[in-house]
Amino acid sequence: MVNTVEVRWFWRRLFTFLFVGINTATVGWIVLKLDDPDALKWIGMGLITANILLAFVYMAGATLVDLTRIKAEVIKTAEEVKEIIE
């Protein structure tokens, strides 16, 4: 039996640092090219969302399956709240 537990978190750290570097460079390049405040607002929101997803992957070790389940629960809860409000 193969032990799949990653004790040192090497691959998670490598992925995280590469993602942060590429994400930061891309956002920096876009910000330098844009003058539209509305577009910059949405880029900022996208960066916040990317950082939240990255925190799930790095700290919690969430997989794509876990993130899909979380998304489904958030959508389900939002629909339930919407029904209550209406």
Number of domains in the chain: 1
**1 located within any domain:** no
The whole domain housing 42 covers 10-85
Let me know if residue 2 belongs to a domain: no
Is residue 71 one of the residues assigned to a domain?
yes
Question: Quick check: is 20 in a domain?
Answer: yes
Q: Spell out the per-residue pLDDT of the chain, length 86, in tens.
A: 455 555 567 777 788 788 888 888 888 888 888 888 888 888 888 888 887 888 777 777 666 677 788 888 989 998 998 888 87
Question: Is 26 part of a structural domain of the chain?
Answer: yes
Q: Tell whether 66 is covered by a domain.
A: yes
- Asked if residue 27 is part of any domain, the answer here is yes
- Residues with Cβ within 8 Å of residue 13, at least 6 apart in sequence: 58
Residue 60 lies in a domain: yes
